[in-house]
Amino acid sequence: MLPASLDEAVDALAAAPAAVPVAGATDLMEAVNAGRLRPAALVGLGRITELRGWRYEDGGTAVLGAGLTHARMDRPDFAALIPALADAARTAGPPQVRNVGTLGGNIVTAAPAGDTLPVLTALEATVTLARSGGTREVPVSHLLTGLDPVRPGELLTWVRVPLLHAPQVFLKATGRSGPARATASVALVLDPARRAVRCAVGAVAPVPLRPLEAEAWVAGCIDWDGSREIDPVATAAFGEYVAAACVPDNYGAEGAWEAVTEGPTAAAVRLRRTVSVLARRALGRALK
Amino acid sequence: MTSPTDIGAALQQDGGEGGAPEPFGLGSSPLRSDALPKALGIYPYAADLWAEGLLWGAVLRSPHPHARIRGIDTSAALALPGVHAVVTAADLPPGPDGLPDGAPAGPIVADRPVLAAGVVRHHGEPVAAVAADHPDTARLAVGLIAVDYEPLEAVTDPEQSFTAPPLHPDGNLFRHLPLRTGDPDAVGEIVVEGLYQVGRQDPAPLGAEAGLAVPRPDGGVELHLSSTDPHGDRDRTATCLGLEPDRVRLVATGVPGATTDREDLSFQVTLALLALRTGRPVKMTLTREESFHTHTSRHPALLRYRHHADAEGTLVKVEAQILLDGGAYADVSAEALAAATAFSVGPYVCPNVFVDAWAVRTNNPPAGRMRGEGALQTCFAYESQLDQLAARVGVDPVEIRRRNAMATGDPLPTGQAVTCPAPVKALLDAVAAEPLPALPVDDPDAEWLLPGGPGGAGDPAAVRRGIGYAVGMVHMLGAEGEDEVSTATVRVSGDHATVICAAVDAGQGFATLARQIVQTVLGVSEVYIAPADSDQSIAGPSARGRHTWVSGGAVERAALMVRHQLLQPIAANFGMSVELLQIADGKITSYDGVLGMPVAEALEGKELWATAQCRPHPTEPLDESGHGDAFVSISFCAMRAVVDVDIELGAVRVVEMTVAQDVGRALNPRQIEDRIEAGVAQGVGLALMEDLQTSGGVLLNPSLTGYRLPTSLDTPEVRIAALLEERDVVATFGAKAVSAVPAVVAPAAVAAAVRAATGLPVGRLPIRAEDAVTV
Ligand SMILES: Cc1cc2nc3c(=O)[nH]c(=O)nc-3n(C[C@H](O)[C@H](O)[C@H](O)COP(=O)(O)OP(=O)(O)OC[C@H]3O[C@@H](n4cnc5c(N)ncnc54)[C@H](O)[C@@H]3O)c2cc1C
């Protein structure tokens, strides 16, 4: 099925509850090929043009269509609006994949290494879920943690992101120079109006993690009224703080009990080092 | 964006320089004939094969690395509509005791069953197979086969293999090779020690295994697949099926490029069995995951080294213990071990060498042939040792290598004299003399390609540059007494020639070379290379760089015989001997220049052909102290790696590799450069990222997302400092094989450069991020 409008699409899903929506198919086809998914029917979202762009809402919010491709989000006009999301989109796979892979697909797949997810988490984005006859608004973190998942018959249509007009950064560590999945990633945004720093760490846990205390602490170290400077010692400490908050001592251990007496595992030490460097560099770049 | 036609035009122009004549003959660089179709995406691969009424095959694989099979119930699978056959070990000819044994086979030792019989020895081992009228039905049926496994303890640490209960009736030791040369009590003033580890590199062929089997009316079967050894594969398939070899025909088709043996035996025998069983053509294409499970990978290795040297760094004694993890089945482990042992010291002179090397069986994925098998692992170890030695003596890494470099006439530790050119010093000097790449300091920040890639997390302040050197060697052709032979037929009719030879061009460029040989010998420009199949005469496998020499030699001889037939009547006519005539630039001329006749005219209306064989001089097995003339010839290569390391994240980017290689004679310079680039890419992959990981024998990353291959951003600039052309007098055209040795040397060079950048020891390949973090 190839509906041409949102309404047609949600009606199609309501009529055929077993049908699966498909956007760029870069995740879906992988699941089909591996035999993990056998969709009874597909509802293609590619012809719903309204979902492929974005609009502004008063109150300083951008409303992004679920059908925005990574390639589109990487373009300068978009990067000027939400730089961290553009950074994430730029590194989300090879060009062939980014040309068709979408924001909505990235969110619904909710892979631990999904690159837009820590950015949306740090931005405290919300998503609109539409079904035949109604919509609802859900914080992206609730969706990702499974607190409030996408229900059968629902489409993810819009992603609401605040426009912060301040530096934001997404950094990702991978195992090679070419496109690859993150082994760890950090998204960091400044919110000068609220004098806040928001940060999320991706790929180290099933969902992006927010180091809330570290955020609050570092916000207090920044000279918000002046040139937004920070003591380099504080930047480094922030890195350590974020890493300790997001990587548990027993990371990578076979059984959770190992952690109780023995301190951090070698894997935890390594991952913390990576996260700490990423968080420190992200903050450094945001305040440069 | 470049459209396919643009690429086509570019390629054509590249080949023909805008209307200039096509490159012709040896020493020129014509384009591969399959380059254009492959670049345009119109080349038919084995997965594109089709036959009317075909069925689809699928394989059931073991989820356990080691288990006893108590029973297999195929009834539910057989009952599924659309399923035509389900086969297990019981459908193969029984073993000597009359019980199913899975028809074990293998390149050296016949120990690997086609379908597991009674016991599975590695994760992903084929247990049963299905033919059905739709690929989905076949896979569904595979899911319905119920296997009752009794999991057994998996032996996955090769060091445990010695004392573990036998995993196979043949035992756990594939081979032990001791090497004892010189005085065991010799000691040096300086002693350096190291423990080195090499991970499991997978060939990860982009074209996964695929093929088509067609039953024949005579009870035989025809296999169309990307075999790189048509006769060997035919013979082994026939044996496994209990057929006469001439009832099996193997047509090499759609070879996507191979750096190892293509298509494991189990795949092709199963395919043939399904076709024979159903009486219908059967097609099978493996998934990426299955492909990782089924083909052999590189031998993981553990190497312990102790080098003794005098105060100047001249080697006095080398002691080593080498352990190769062969995985569940023998494959070519014995051969890889011979190379590892014989080249354990590298291209250096050392009077006293004491090595013990073992290849053992485990429940890990089977290891097999992969560019420079055995030689690569030791190269990393001995070159790491030389770097340590240089640091201890206080000389630079190039100097320590120059001081110890071997030259023609020097002995290997096996006692064999290196009679071929061994220009080790010249190679080192060539790479050392090349200018270094500039630091990007003058470029705008945005244009730095930092470790981690564009848009990565790289920070220029944390990046350190390192430079490392390595030299290495590898033998070419079969070793230790293996019969090396190839046959070729050359036919000329009118203005064009045809080469019929069962040597498969797996990307090494043999087809291009054969064309060039015939062009040079006969002056005919249009040369057609017939597709390879097992009904032709034997040419042997595409491996160990043998086809340039052995099949190239056969083509040359056959062409020379045709040349004689062509020239003899002309010579007789003019009352001179054939030797006084020569063919050049499409003309036959006499020594005195009196006679001149276009080749085309001499050939008019003629049909000439000849068949010839090439069989290089024989070798002998290594004896119980590791001695013997085991190798036909050896090629050498030196490299300099320049890397950038982010010392906080441990990300490494290879900026440039400078290569000097001993090629004997450059028969097709551009093709050689391509092969060097390919070898460097594979070596860089092994050095930095390629590692097929297992946990308790279970594969963890059998996908191209999990198994990271180098992308274009990870492969460095390759600078060719020199292709040294010192003829190897016994080789065809004096040329040496070129593909393997760059892959052997590149990992060692990258490791040396990372060591230089970080000051860390770097004893393990691939180098993980945590091995390159200094803070
Ligand atoms: C080679 C390769 C490399 C990749 N590298 C990266 C990477 O580096 N980083 C990264 O984050 N991702 C990567 N990906 C994953 C993938 O490209 C992204 O997750 C992409 O954003 C998915 O979008 P899509 O439009 O292709 O989703 P699809 O495959 O079309 O859909 C994915 C899932 O989302 C559902 N869905 C899609 N749209 C909607 C909607 N509007 N409403 C409800 N459900 C919906 C589908 O039903 C399906 O379950 C890679 C993929 C490949 C193949």
From chain B residues 433-472, the ones with a CB under 8 A of any chain A CB are 449, 451-457, 459, 462
Q: What share of chain B is helix, strand, coil (3-state, %, to 5)?
A: 30, 25, 45
pLDDT averaged over chain B? Answer: 92
Is pLDDT at B9 greater than 60 in this prediction? no
pLDDT of residue A111: 96
Residue B11 to residue B1: CA distance in whole angstroms: 16
Judge whether A163 lies within some domain: no
pLDDT in tens, B476-517: 999 999 999 999 999 999 889 999 999 998 888 899 999 999
**A227: containing domain:** 169-286
Residue B446 has pLDDT above 80, yes or no: no
| Predicted structure pTM score | 0.94
In a domain, A100, yes or no: no
A217 part of a folded domain: yes
Residues in chain A within 8 Å Cβ distance of B648:
273, 277
Please choose, from the candidates A95, A106, A104, A112, the residue with its C-alpha nearest in 3D space to the C-alpha of residue A130: A104
Whether residue B18 has pLDDT greater than 50: no
Residues whose CB falls within 8 Å of the CB of residue A263, separated by 6 or more in sequence, listed in order: A249
Q: Are B512 and B25 in contact (CB under 8 A)?
A: no
Q: How many angstroms separate the alpha carbon of residue B739 from the centre of ligand 1?
A: 39
Looking at the domain assignment, is residue A175 inside a domain? yes
In this predicted structure, the answer to whether residue B14 has a pLDDT above a threshold of 70 is no
B144 has a chain A CB within 8 A of its CB? no
Residues of A with CB under 8 A from a CB of B: 33-35, 87, 90-91, 94, 171-181, 183, 270, 273-274, 277-278, 281
Alpha-carbon gap, residue B308 to B316, rounded angstroms: 5
Residue B437 to residue B430: CA distance in whole angstroms: 16
- Give me the CATH topology for the region B55-152+212-281: Aldehyde Oxidoreductase; domain 3 (3.90.1170)
Mutation choice for ligand 1 from A22, A30, A50, A121, CB with most ligand atoms inside 8 A: A22
Domains B55-152+212-281 and B486-614 share a fold: no
- Pocket lining: A97 vs ligand 1, CB cutoff 6 Å: yes
Rg (CA), chain A: 20
In this structure, is residue A113 part of a structural domain? no
Asked if B170 is an interface residue toward chain A (Cβ–Cβ < 8 A), one would say no
Contacts of A244-248 with C-beta under 8 Å, sequence gap 24+, read A244/A272, A245/A209, A245/A211, A245/A213, A245/A214, A246/A201, A246/A204, A246/A205, A246/A209, A246/A211, A246/A275, A247/A204, A247/A271, A247/A272, A247/A275
Reported CATH class of domain B486-614: alpha beta
Q: Which atom of ligand 1 is nearest to the CA of A26?
A: 26
For residue A37, the ligand 1 atom closest to its alpha carbon is 49
Instruction: Decide if pLDDT at B10 tops 70.
Output: no
Ligand 1 pocket test target in B288, B705, B708 with most atoms within 8 Å of CB: B705
Per CB-CB distance under 8 Å, the chain A contacts of B710 are 176, 178
Q: Give the pLDDT score at B259.
A: 67
- A118 Cβ below 6 A of ligand 1: no
The CATH number of B301-479+621-772 is which of 3.30.365.10, 4.10.520.10, 2.40.400.10, 3.40.50.2300?
A: 3.30.365.10
Q: B129 C-alpha to center of ligand 1: Å?
A: 33
The verdict on residue A102 lying in a domain is no
Say whether B619 sits in a helix, a strand or coil. Answer: coil
The CA-CA-CA angle for residues B388, B389, B392, to 5°, reads 90
Atom of ligand 1 nearest to the CA of A155: 42
Q: pLDDT at position B3, please? A: 43
Q: How many domains does chain A have?
A: 1
Domain residue extents for chain B: 4-43, 55-152+212-281, 301-479+621-772, 486-614
Q: How far apart are CA B661 and CA B473, in angstroms?
A: 10
- pLDDT of A260 higher than 80: no
Residue of B nearest to A32 (CA): B136
Of A78-82, A236-240, B6-10, B689-693, which range is least confident? B6-10
| Cα A99 to middle of ligand 1, angstroms | 11
CATH of residue A281's domain is: 3.30.390.50
Cβ–Cβ gap B710/A178 under 8 Å: yes
Per-residue pLDDT, averaged over B254-272, amounts to: 82
Higher per-residue confidence, B36 vs B416: B416
Q: How far is the CA of A47 from the centre of ligand 1 (A)?
A: 17
For B64-84, how does the pLDDT look when each residue is reduced to its tens digit (9 = 90+)?
999 999 999 999 999 999 999
Residue type, B209: E
pLDDT of residue A74: 95
Give per-residue pLDDT as tens, A25-43. Answer: 999 998 988 888 889 999 9
**Chain B residues lying within 8 Å of A176, measured CB to CB:** 453, 688-689, 708, 710-711, 713-714
Tokens of B754: 């990372």
- A260 located within any domain: yes
User: Using 50, 70 and 90 to split pLDDT, how confident is the model at B1?
Assistant: very low
Question: What residues contact A161, with CB distance under 8 A and at least 6 apart?
Answer: A61, A62, A63, A64, A82, A85, A120, A123, A125
Q: Mean pLDDT throughout B612-619?
A: 94
Residue contacts between A and B (CB atoms, under 8 Å): 73
Which residue, by CA, sits nearest to atom 50 of ligand 1?
Answer: A93
Task: Compute, in angstroms, the gap from residue A91 CA to the centroid of ligand 1.
Answer: 14
Is A236 part of a structural domain of the chain?
A: yes
Do B22 and B248 contact (CB within 8 A), yes or no? no
Ligand 1 centroid to Cα of residue A78, in Å, is: 20
Residue B260 has pLDDT above 90, yes or no: no
pLDDT digits (tens, 9 = 90+) for B656-678: 999 999 999 999 999 999 999 99
**Residue with CA nearest ligand 1 atom 14:** A93
